[in-house]
Structure 1
């Protein structure tokens, strides 16, 4: 049984060994999460070459060496050589680096799940490497159910929480309030961009000292990918 965890890899060195399409997909995902990406491969596909030319990744044009593992936080083995894949796996154990193996999922320390991002809302789907196709199918179904309005809703709830809680853990009364707010038809208001109705719902539920007009104005200035 895998332990689910979300890693903060921003500004952490992630090593990708391999230069093909699989490696390119890993690299793009790592870059979106803010990682420092080092690629080791004597050859690379056009996508990887382009990222290197733009200075978005470091590409060392050579074969893998054992010392490559020493500075890495995560390592992705994505070569077409069984011998190299085995070497990487052995060195990952030696240096205590978490390994993701494209050729041997069952030998990986972690798997990269399919994911859906809606603002700061992150939904992940994993089959433990058993069936990526099933992960993709479930992702498509969830993607239709959870639209961009959920990212906006999360941003709204974060603002409300910040206004209500100054520090420490929320009280039982506050927890109850948050649950009551989520029972209101605010998701539909966001989805249909009925800001006036949303403001009225919030005004009836929230303490009077909270400026609901300000909350709404902040939502309306969110990046486009947060808004439905």
Structure 2
């Protein structure tokens, strides 16, 4: 058996050998099929297709990984918080698998180092880190099955990153929080795009947040959604004492 493993290891290309070793350190076990992981790190800009003409990139694996993360974390919360109702459990799961948190995980695992792309990494959006992380989870499932995937999520994600008490106070959307508060307090609000310049990846949006007819915060970002979230966070801190009392 040792001889067979040695021959298999020596049959890999030098590049695959380096890839295998780096993956093993992250995974905590030996991967079986490197092709699943290569696909998880293939950007759509590569325009790859398989022998049957199917598109080869990380997007389908991203879908699979999202489902795996959601199910394993849902089961963990169900067992960990027996008094939590459906609304509480749903909110907590959303915090754990939020785009912000997944981006942090992708960065912590430094998965961007493996990405094969014709686009320069400096032009990637922030969410690429989370997208690749989800694809990585999907690749683990295809490579080793549910049991290994579940163990990886528990060992590498839930145990070091999921703190129920800390997450209870974590805000995942300042915009949602602020809108909910304005509606409860019967305050008028709206977001105004006051600046829209640049093209393509360099395009920026300026947004003003109005509450009761006054501008309480401004923000600029590469999308209106991001600018509104940043402005909402700044607006939250303006009214924090009032909001936190509710």
Report TM bin, short chain.
under 0.3
| TM-score, structure 2 normalization | 0.25
| TM-score, structure 1 normalization | 0.27
- Greater share of residues in helix: 2
